Chains A and B, each alone.
Chain A
Amino acid sequence: MKFVKECDVVVIGGGITGTAILRELSKYDLKAVLVEKESDLAIGTTKANSAICHAGFDAPVGSMKAKTNVRGNALYHQLKDELHLDIKWCGSLVVATNEEEKATLNELLERGRVNGVPDLKILSREEVLAQEPNLTTAVAALWAPTAGVMWPFGCAIAFAQCAVQNGAEELRNCAVTGFIKEDGRITGVNTTWGVIKTKYVINAAGIYADAIARLAGDDSFTIKPRKGEYILFDKTASSSLVYGVAFPCPTKKSKGILVCTTTHGNTFIGPNANDQEDREDTSVTLEGMDQIINSAKKLVPKLPLGDSITLFAGLRAVSSTGDFVLGASPKVKGLFNAAGIQSPGLSAAPAVAEVIVEALGQEMPLHKKADFKAELPETKLFNELDGSGKAAAIRQDERYGRVICRCETVTEGDIVAAIKAPCGAYTLDGVKRRTRAGMGRCQGGFCGPRVTQILARELGIPVPEVLKERQGSEMYYAKFTAKEEK
């Protein structure tokens, strides 16, 4: 196998956890490389979840989940400005619909206080309705003002961009196929690109984290996929749903099916929680939709189902330990696990990164870079600019005056920038996650062909080679030639 490069730390997995770790590592004098098997960052669990920055009252007292959630939430308040993250600090409600559930609110309030969640408060039915008039079944709610909703792919990409700006590297379409060990200690990683020599490996491989650990010789935990399905609504439906985050009272298995806003003003219902064996199956099912619709109706009895714009499902990585698996592998020298990152993994990611890098510091001397650049240059999309900003953008590059995605007002300039940026998009869905082109009510009906053509032009490939997402997801084919037709 050919030799590709040499570094100090390889991070496996480009989701929110892997990218947060890569950024944390880039603060130090070391060479870090992130490998991602897919064509883009953030397309596993990070792509399809509730996108909530949880306050931290839900996780069991003393768990890693609780510690990293509360700390992660606090870190995001700072990272939002440094990395220009799309986070809306809208707070969250846990809604009780009967007296029995009211008791649960008090338990959550108490647990939240022990976990260190600030400013929790029980609201009366009237106070809930003043905030969310469609939660007509509420009798009371737990209000957590520090919760928010976030743009998960944007956060992961920003983490990676910040790391890259500080000297780290990210390699995509680069799957790990094996480990090289000397005297029981990892010295390299075999990948589909070739050999990467390294001293340490951090396993942030999400749903496949146990498979990666096993490949290295660590069988100390297993991961089970747990599917969650969602229905997303048009922005115009939010007045019939909610303006913030509304959880039902939690069950043992999950936080329940919520009715929730997003950073861009869409609303969704979901997720359910169904365990499965398959690590790839993210199909939405008829039964699953019935399940989330019926549950969501308990919070908002009148759902505007005609305004749904898309369905999706994601897989949570549930570990056999019941908690996040964080730190040095008990079995393999040089391996660190950041595994079993189910909810509240998105919220916890920056704190998980701190925990992992601290653990790494126990094994190798870490020296802070004097010139770590914490801030990313601010890049705004056309529709986020004010009038004079828009005019200036078009004066500089007239492609900002050509609207490609009409539902979300995304211009050709935005799309080209998303392709050309550090950690840029290679695919149609990659452009979508960076610009929102195709995320609106027509779901790419009008802009899909045009974005495909822009990708082909900018990447210098023929249109039939442009991918929606992974290898094998070509969007269009060349026409038949006269000869083929016979």
Chain B
Amino acid sequence: MMADLYDVVIVGGGPAGLSAAYSAYENGAKKILVLERDRELGGILQQCIHNGFGLHHFKQELTGPGYAGRCIDLIKDKPEIETLVDTMVLEVHPDKTILAVNPKRGVFTVQGKAVVLTMGCRERTRGAIRIPGERPAGVFTAGAAQRMVNMEGYLPGKKIVILGSGDIGLIMARRMTLEGCKVVADLEICPFSNGLTRNIVQCLKDYNIPLYLSHTITKIHGKDRVTGVTVAKVDEKMRPIAGTEFELECDTLLLSVGLIPENELSRGLGLELNRLTRGPVVDQHRQTSQPGFFAAGNVVHVHDLVDFVSDEADIAGKFAAQEAAGTLAPAVKSVEVEAVSGIRTCVPQRLHLPAEGEPVRFFMRAAAPDRKVTLEVKCGGEVLFTRPLPVVKPSEMIAVDLPAAKTALMKEKITVGLKPKEA
């Protein structure tokens, strides 16, 4: 059976996939396919009914479904763009054929001249952080609970403790309070919060929900349904300190303890993955280690703003369209990007540049909170670029644009790091 051939096939119809589809269309792709596993397009945005989305990308404050709607509006009624929902991609092969399944078409194969991977991420679970105790009903990842309460219309519980201060957990603290539930506390193992400052203020402080920093859960109680948790303070190695334990009564534990890019398909393809971002290694065009395969959004590295996801997907869509048309300019040099001192991760991890350079935006995460530091981009000991940063936090992505004149100067390897403060 011959596979249907597309210019660009996009795996995942969340904000990254939709933005990539529109960008590919704008950049001349004539036949684009978006494959989405959920029953509708828009991805996790559809359950994020709060506002605060879109200020950068659409210059307007939107809710999650509002943002998704804008992305969907851009691609609908375009004969060049086909979308399939309720469709699960089972395998992606190096020849860019994709095996997928849905109830109407059964198991089918499509092929892209270019493929964009936009599978998003999933939540870290109880098992991944090994919380001891019983295994009752009532332990949910915050996002799973969010879907249930916002889309399906049921409560995950009534008396709630939240572990982790990631943004979804913070948003859920407010959501559950507004639903009439009691949010007992938010516990964070780090000495600092892992969510956006605005969410700490608007979702916890405004509702008098206590945030315990440097605390974790040492036992979940309840044989059938959660009845409570034992909480302990942790030392600097994040090990519970004996004697500091106290009990919190609750019927539900929500976990907001990190997101993991969902790269099972990438792994199957043999793409080079980065140990720290847990996503594919990409160049500034968001092309992965295998030519013709692009990736964007949370599958590459977890973002905190969907606006940046769309920006990144715009890049992937554009260059995927060029790849499909055979117009992607060949690079004359390859530059490795290494995150050093104070910067934990940097995307892109690799640059494929023409002789005259090209403008590149770097997305970085700091290793720890700090103030009044300077970002330094160096090449062979020489400082190419600096940018003072008044505040850095692991929870807030740093985005910095380097002009073509600077990237033109780069040789085989550069480092990005934070210059320590002057003594």
Residue of B nearest to A453 (CB): B152
- Is A477 touching B127 in the complex (CB atoms < 8 A)? no
- Let me know if A409 and B90 touch, CB within 8 A: yes
Q: Which residues of A contact B137 (CB under 8 A)?
A: 467-469, 473-475
CA separation between A232 and B128, bound complex, in Å? 10
Apart from A289-B130, A310-B125, 18 more pairs, CB < 8 Å: A232-B127, A285-B219, A307-B128, A311-B126, A400-B103, A401-B102, A401-B107, A403-B88, A406-B88, A444-B144, A445-B122, A445-B140, A463-B154, A470-B223, A472-B224, A475-B138, A476-B154, A477-B155
- A286-B218 contact, Cβ under 8 Å, with A467-B137, A476-B155, A480-B180: yes
Docked-complex contact A442 and B107, CB < 8 angstroms = no
Interface check A391, CB cutoff 8 A: yes
At the interface, yes or no: A152 with Cβ under 8 Å from chain B?
A: no
Q: Which residues of B contact A471 (CB under 8 A)?
A: 224
Q: Mark A352-391, 1 if CB is under 8 A from B, else 0.
A: 0000000000000000000000000000000000010011
Q: Is A106 an interface residue (CB 8 A)?
A: no
Query: With A and B bound together, what is the CA distance between A203 and B264 in angstroms?
Result: 46
- Does any Cβ of A come within 8 Å of B240's Cβ? yes
Interface string of B129-158 (1 = CB under 8 A from A): 011111111101101100111001111111
Residues of B with C-beta under 8 A to A172: none
A30 located at the interface, meaning its Cβ lies under 8 Å from any Cβ of chain B in the complex: no
Q: Does A231 contact B (CB under 8 A)?
A: yes
With A480-B180, A485-B180 as contacts: A473 and B225 at CB distance below 8 Å: yes
Query: Given the complex of chains A and B, what is the CA–CA distance between A478 and B134 in angstroms?
Result: 24
- Contact, CB under 8 Å: A394 / B103: yes
Q: Does A280 contact B (CB under 8 A)?
A: yes
A to B CB contacts below 8 Å, 16 in the list: A282-B135, A285-B132, A289-B132, A307-B128, A308-B128, A309-B128, A401-B104, A401-B105, A443-B127, A444-B144, A470-B223, A475-B156, A476-B148, A477-B155, A479-B155, A480-B180
What is the bound-complex CA distance between A178 and B175, given in angstroms?
49
Report the bound CA distance from A470 to B224 in whole Å: 6
Report chain A residues within 8 Å CB of B225: 472-474
Determine whether the beta carbon of B240 is less than 8 Å from that of A286.
yes
Whether the Cβ atoms of B37 and A473 lie closer than 8 Å is no
Is B224 within 8 A of A469, CB to CB?
yes
**Chain B, range 182-233, C-beta contacts under 8 Å to A:** 218-220, 223-225
Q: How far is the CA of A187 from the CA of B153 in the complex (A)?
A: 51
B206 CB to nearest A CB, Å: 18
Q: How far is the CA of A476 from the CA of B125 in the complex (A)?
A: 18
A476-B146 Cα distance, complex, nearest whole Å: 12
- Chain A residues lying within 8 Å of B157, measured Cβ to Cβ, are 477
A296 to B220, CA, bound (A): 25
State whether B144 touches A312 (Cβ < 8 A).
no
- Is A399 engaged at the interface, CB distance under 8 Å to the other chain? yes
Chain B residues closer than 8 Å to A118, beta-carbon distance: none
A residues less than 8 Å from B4 (CB atoms): none
- Please determine whether A480 and B154 come into contact, CB atoms closer than 8 angstroms: no
Interface of B is mostly: mixed
A330 within 8 A of B: no
Is A464 within 8 A of B106, CB to CB? no
The answer to whether A394 and B180 have CB atoms under 8 Å apart is: no
Is A119 engaged at the interface, CB distance under 8 Å to the other chain?
A: no
Residue of B nearest to A467 (CB): B137
Q: Which A-B residue pairs are the 3 nearest by beta carbons?
A: A310-B127, A468-B137, A401-B103
Known: A401-B104, A449-B152. A231 touches B130 (CB 8 A): yes
Q: Which residues of A contact B134 (CB under 8 A)?
A: 281-283
Task: Note all chain B residues with C-beta closer than 8 A to A480.
Answer: 155, 179-181
Per-position 1/0 for B95-135, Cβ under 8 A of A: 00000011111110000000000000011011110111111
Chain A positions within 8 Å of B133 at CB level: 283-284
Q: Inside 8 A of B220's CB, which chain A residues have their CB?
A: 283
What sequence of 0s and 1s flags, for each residue 226-253 of chain A, a beta carbon within 8 Å of any chain B beta carbon?
0000011000100000000000000000
Q: Are A398 and B136 in contact (CB under 8 A)?
A: no
**Across the interface, which residues of B come within 8 angstroms of A308, CB to CB?**
127-128, 130
Residues facing A in B63-105 (CB within 8 A) are 86, 88, 90, 101-105
B267 contacts chain A at the CB level, 8 A cutoff: yes
Which bracket fits the contact residues of B?
A: 35 or more
Residue of B122, B132, B267 touching A442 (CB-CB under 8 A): B122
- Chain A residues within 8 Å of B, Cβ to Cβ: 231-232, 236, 280-286, 288-289, 305-312, 387, 390-391, 394-395, 398-403, 406-407, 409, 441-446, 448-449, 453, 463-464, 467-480, 484-485
Q: A445-B143, A446-B144, A449-B144 are in contact. Are A398 and B104 (CB under 8 A)?
A: yes
Q: Is the CB of A395 within 8 A of B106?
A: yes
Query: How far apart sit A402 and B288, CA to CA, in the bound complex (Å)?
Result: 29
Known A280-B223, A312-B135; judge A403-B126 contact (CB<8 A).
Answer: no
Q: How far is the CA of A449 from the CA of B149 in the complex (A)?
A: 10
Q: Which residues of A contact B267 (CB under 8 A)?
A: 236
Report the bound CA distance from A188 to B194 in whole Å.
61
Inter-chain CA distance A400–B154, complex, in Å, is: 26
Chain A min CB distance to B85 (Å): 11
Expressed in whole angstroms, the Cα–Cα distance for A403 and B141 within the complex equals 20
Residues of A close to B125: CB separation below 8 A: 309-310, 441-443, 445
Closest to A427 in B: B137
Contact yes or no, B103 A402, CB < 8 A: yes
Closest residue of B by beta carbon distance from A468 = B137
Q: A445-B144, A446-B122 are in contact. Are A402 and B102 (CB under 8 A)?
A: yes
Residues of A contacting B104 in the complex (Cβ-Cβ under 8 angstroms):
398, 401
Q: Is the CB of B101 within 8 A of A390?
A: yes
Contacts of B131 in A (CB 8 A): 311
The answer for the CA separation of A289 and B9 in the assembled complex, in Å, is: 44
Contact for A468 among B122, B136, B141, B155, CB less than 8 A? B136
In Å, the complex CA distance between A406 and B267 comes to: 15
Q: How far is the CB of B334 from chain A (nearest CB, A)?
A: 29
Residues of chain A lying within 8 A (CB to CB) of residue B126: 310-311, 443
Q: Which residue of B lies closest to A233 (CB)?
A: B127
Chain B residues whose CB sits within 8 angstroms of the CB of A284 once the complex forms? 132-133
Q: Return A51 CB to nearest CB of chain B, in Å.
A: 17
Q: CA–CA, A306 to B133, complex, Å?
A: 19
**In the complex, which residue of chain A has the Cβ closest to the Cβ of B223?**
A280
Minimal beta-carbon separation of A216 from chain B (angstroms):
26
B153 nearest in chain A by CB position: A479
Contact status B154-A478, CB under 8 Å: yes
Give the residues in chain B near A476, CB-CB below 8 Å.
Answer: 148, 154-156
CA distance A475 to B106 in the complex (A): 32
Cβ-closest chain B residue relative to A471: B224
* B144 to A, closest residue via Cβ: A445
Q: Are A390 and B107 in contact (CB under 8 A)?
A: yes
Q: How far is the CA of A66 from the CA of B171 in the complex (A)?
A: 57
Interface contact B106-A390, CB-CB below 8 Å:
yes
Q: Are B101 and A394 in contact (CB under 8 A)?
A: yes
Q: How far is the CA of A484 from the CA of B135 in the complex (A)?
A: 30
* Assembly CA distance A285 to B147 (angstroms): 31
CA A167 – CA B147 in complex, angstroms? Answer: 44
Whether A306 and B106, one on each chain, are in contact in the complex, defined by CB atoms closer than 8 angstroms, is no
A311 close to B224 (CB less than 8 A): no
Q: How far is the CA of A473 from the CA of B252 in the complex (A)?
A: 12
CB-CB < 8 A to B141: which residues of A?
A: 445
Q: Which residues of B contact A402 (CB under 8 A)?
A: 86, 102-103
Closest chain A CB from B45 CB (angstroms)? 15
Binary interface encoding of chain B residues 38-80 relative to chain A, with 1 for a CB under 8 A from any of its CBs, else 0: 0000000000000000000000000000000000000000000
Q: Is the CB of A399 within 8 A of B147?
A: no
